[in-house]
Amino acid sequence: MIRFLSIFVMLVQLVIIYFWIFDWTKLVTTIGLSFWGGAIILGVTFYYFGKGKMKRFNSIYDSDYHFLCSCCYFHRTCDEFDALIIAMLQTTEGTMDKLKIVQVSKEFDEDAKAHILEGFLEHFGYIDHSLNPDLNSITDYYSRRGYIFLIGFIDQELVCTGAITKEGSHTGRIERMSVKKAFRRRGLANKMLQQLERYALDMKYTKLVLETNQHWQNAIQFYQSNHFIEEKRDQQRIHFAKRLIHVENDSL
């Protein structure tokens, strides 16, 4: 129904343009003004209706899939749209099923380092090696008590990393969160963060903190969606924190 109304509005606009060019006097009649005004109202209504649908879809699936909503709204049936969503979710679930997260070991130090440095180049355009001494020997650096470095593989390819360092006696810091560009928006960061939180609980941390650039909206939304609360801001960064809940197992 919406599709046909959209086509109707487009045809009315074309007719209006025609009369503007060849016989504009007919536009100032009662019928002409009625058609013109009605087309404008319908056009504005469709715009906000479509915008609302796209916003609701974005909140569930992700901004990268806006084009799917547009295709459904203007060109496809709802059944076709549902098929696209199912295929998209199956791809995401299949990727997450293949993801294997393990603790870093010596044989993967260089791969993990290259992965992180690739992310630096993407975000900053340069690498300052003096600011990253932990990458010189990742396994050794993160073998200390209260530290851990995790790497994620899909089909033997290193696709994501995440780490915890010791901030205080009961506080850990999330660091080195990175997902390879070709594998983003598939839930891998969520899986990595969940795994880090499990290790944090095992290490008896009651709080996790992290920081991210205040201009990186995707990162900010990601941590907020995982229940990290903003504690403070400085000129460049937002500092987040999350309380961890320890569940004690009662012995029967």
β-partners of residue 175 are 163
CATH number of 99-243: 3.40.630.30
**Measured distance CA(210)–CA(45) in Å, rounded:** 43
**Measured distance CA(244)–CA(24) in Å, rounded:** 70
State the pTM of this model. 0.62
User: pLDDT tens digits for 94-120?
Assistant: 566 789 999 999 999 999 999 999 988
Task: At 212, give phi and psi (nearest 5°).
Answer: -150, 160
**Measured distance CA(32)–CA(26) in Å, rounded:** 6
User: pLDDT tens digits for 125-145?
Assistant: 877 878 889 999 999 999 999
β-partners of residue 160 are 152, 179
The percentage of the chain sitting over the pLDDT mark of 90, rounded to a whole number, equals 49
Q: Where are the domains of the chain?
A: 2-96, 99-243
Q: Are 231 and 203 in contact (CB under 8 A)?
A: no
Highest mean pLDDT among 71-75, 161-165, 212-216: 161-165
Instruction: Compute CA distances 217 → 36, 163, 214, 225, 237, whole Å.
Output: 41, 21, 7, 12, 12
